[in-house]
Structure 1
Amino acid sequence: MDKPIIAVDMDDTICQLVKRAIYHNNINFPTHPLRYEDMLHWDTSHLRHPESTHDVFYGRPGLFEELELYDEYVVEEMEKLNQAYDLIIVTAAEPRTVVEKWNWLQKHMPFITADQFITCKRKYLLGFDLLIDDGAHNLIAAHDLGRKVLCIPHPWNVKEREQYGFPLMSTWHGAKEYIDRMLETVNA
């Protein structure tokens, strides 16, 4: 029997994008400091300095290579998942960020191969048994198709996770065992 497919997002799921973008924003625009807790929606234009467009906020060259790991457990747990399941990394990326994201993966998770790395914004189009993501739009689309989802909680997905009652994973500690339990019905 084929192994269940686990699709894992990158940004703010296995690495910390928004916190790093905020760090650079606050250095470049000290008159408009941002806090992680204020990031209640994807559209943060009302919070940022007028010159800090979406492209400026997320477009710093090298940004995606300097991101911190989500937590101290993520690499070990991802390696366990990679051994037990058919693991794919599915990340939204612009052409200029694809190489940076790949470089980050190879630095921190060299066990991920090129055929496991997929750039895609409409993740629901892919066939997977479980999606681990922070983006409510991705979780909702997968949920509505009857797929299992696991939400990484952040301020920008509070409303949707409360509305949909998504299962949560706020740390990667024990992730493999948690996911094993979630997928028992898939394996049966």
Structure 2
Amino acid sequence: MDKKRRTIAIDMDGVIADTVSHFIKWYERDYGLRVGLDAFEGKPEAEGLPGNTVRKYVVTPGFFRSVPVMEGAKEAVLKLSKNFDVYIVSAAMEFPQSLIEKYEWLQEHFPFISWKNIILCGDKSIIGTDYMIDDHVRNLDTFKGTTLMFTAGHNVGVIHHRRVNNWKEIIEFLKEEV
């Protein structure tokens, strides 16, 4: 009898989609000023750029559709899908215009993820997978399985979840779990 495959919930923004580098790129395009990743360190993501710029971008058509893929994410998620049931989970309801953009983005960059394994929701506390990879503490704190906190500027001071800095570290950790 086959052993039941374990399940993983993987966040989009800040985990497989490099939203911070995209904020920086759009800010330079619109204001002619280059900011570094340190602008996002130690503060909520929405406060990483002057004014209300981050909030403006997340409601701008095309923003989510054009976000670059996080380095190593595509290859790592493909590798994980061989041993785990992988679900992409995004709390997308706050920005409803992002729903179709996120779906199209996943179809382009992660075509091996079935539409049945894409969960666009409002509150991730309902997710019941074995593992969750996310950059936001609020999602990890309510999760009942094993958490992996993807390093981001807004979570630098958090120490109560297992931290992973990149996709290579995630693969190494989950290799032990198979």
Query: What amino acid is aligned across from residue 129 of structure 1 in structure 2?
Result: D
Hey, what does 1:25 align to over in structure 2?
A: 27
Hey, what does 1:74 align to over in structure 2?
A: 73
Offset from partner CA, 1:20-72 (integer Å, 9 cap, x none): 022212332347x643212133264485235x361x1322211112111110x
- Whole-Å separation in 1 of the counterparts to 2:169 and 2:51: 40
Match status 1:169 vs 2:164: yes
**What secondary structure is seen at the aligned counterpart in 1 of 2:155?**
helix
Answer with 169-178 or 3-12: which moved more: 169-178
Residues 6 and 85, structure 2, Cα contact 8 Å, conserved in 1: yes
- Whole-Å separation in 2 of the counterparts to 1:110 and 1:152: 23
Hey, what does 2:60 align to over in structure 1?
A: 60
Residues 11 and 133, structure 2, Cα contact 8 Å, conserved in 1: yes
Q: Tell me how many residue pairs correspond in the alignment.
A: 173
- Whole-Å separation in 1 of the counterparts to 2:38 and 2:28: 14
**What secondary structure is seen at the aligned counterpart in 1 of 2:112?**
coil
TM-score by length of 1: 0.82
Hey, what does 1:117 align to over in structure 2?
A: 118
- Whole-Å separation in 1 of the counterparts to 2:69 and 2:51: 27
Identity %: 26
- Whole-Å separation in 1 of the counterparts to 2:48 and 2:119: 32
- Whole-Å separation in 2 of the counterparts to 1:6 and 1:81: 9
Unaligned segments of structure 1, at least 5 residues: none
**What secondary structure is seen at the aligned counterpart in 2 of 1:127?**
coil
Hey, what does 2:150 align to over in structure 1?
A: 152
**What secondary structure is seen at the aligned counterpart in 2 of 1:151?**
strand
Unaligned segments of structure 2, at least 5 residues: none
Hey, what does 2:134 align to over in structure 1?
A: 133
Query: What amino acid is aligned across from residue 29 of structure 2 in structure 1?
Result: I
TM-align CA RMSD: 2.1
